[in-house]
């Protein structure tokens, strides 16, 4: 049976795994809720409605930057919720909010611990500007070994070409094979199912209570509630290093 420490590189999803996508998005929707007199709406309900919009949009508009996709999805969400149409400025503000969404409390310290033992790369459905803002702010300038975004690749996960792009870059930059990579993510839909279709393994950062990217048939090889728990498990394998 393989161990976490058999791998040389962790490929991270960011939003939902390191960044609190759900909390950030719900906070960014508060002006819309206030405008429509619906501040009592449950965040999970809002996210379930948004999830219906986003999966279709990412598939139909694979080359659209993520912040622009969020802005385009905002009026669609408002329509689904029975709200009045938002102004273009309100939708743009929602799209531009990504870089300010908070990191989970354990993310930065866990990344620092894991970086002692693995190469750490980003494979995210975000655009470069939004990721740069997240990295400089909530992620405290953490230096990843490589960053691959949907904007770079021209498609969104779970499209297999996103993973193939990452495999090629990792091989060229670090001389590592697919067997050296462990996908580390929260989303079953965007990360775990597609990576398992490649015959590879994954570590599920469950983030209790999360609903974005969930499926009724989860697959994983390791499962942790937080990234800090994964770092603990790695250090345990290494004898408390």
Angle formed at CA 50 by CA 42 and CA 68, multiple of 5 degrees: 130
Tell me which of 6, 13, 42, 96 is the catalytic residue. 13
Please state, in angstroms and rounded to a whole number, the distance separating the CA atoms of residues 139 and 123.
Answer: 15
Angle formed at CA 139 by CA 134 and CA 142, multiple of 5 degrees: 115
Cβ-based neighbours of 196, under 8 Å, separated by 6 or more: 202, 219
Q: How many other C-beta atoms are found inside a 10 Å radius of the C-beta of residue 19?
A: 26
Q: How large is the C-alpha radius of gyration of the chain?
A: 18
Note if 13 is an active site residue: yes
Alpha helix positions (H), the chain? 21-28, 30-35, 43-60, 66-81, 88-95, 107-114, 128-136, 150-153, 160-174, 193-197, 227-237
Q: Catalogue the active-site residues.
A: 13
């Amino acid at each position: 049976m393989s161990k976490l420490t058999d791998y040389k590189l962790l490929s991270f999803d960011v939003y939902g795994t390191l960044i609190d996508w759900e909390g950030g998005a719900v906070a960014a929707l508060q002006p819309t809720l206030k405008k429509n007199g619906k501040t009592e709406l449950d965040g999970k309900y809002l996210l379930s409605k948004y999830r219906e919009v986003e999966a279709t949009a990412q598939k139909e508009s694979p080359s659209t930057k993520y912040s622009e996709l969020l802005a385009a999805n905002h009026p669609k969400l408002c329509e689904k919720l029975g709200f009045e149409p938002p102004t273009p400025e309100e939708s743009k503000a929602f799209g531009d909010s990504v870089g300010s969404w908070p990191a989970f409390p354990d993310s930065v310290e866990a990344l620092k611990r894991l970086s002692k033992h693995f190469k750490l790369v980003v494979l995210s459905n975000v655009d470069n500007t939004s990721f740069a803002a997240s990295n400089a702010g909530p992620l405290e300038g953490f230096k990843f070994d490589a960053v691959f975004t949907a904007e770079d690749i021209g498609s969104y996960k779970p499209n297999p070409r996103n993973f193939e792009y990452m495999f090629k870059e990792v091989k060229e930059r670090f001389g590592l094979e697919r067997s050296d990579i462990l996908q580390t993510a929260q989303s079953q839909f965007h990360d775990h199912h597609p990576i398992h279709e490649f015959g590879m393994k994954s570590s599920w950062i469950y983030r209790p209570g999360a609903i974005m990217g969930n499926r009724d048939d989860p697959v994983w090889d390791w499962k942790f509630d937080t990234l800090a728990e994964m770092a603990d498990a790695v250090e345990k394998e290494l004898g408390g290093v």
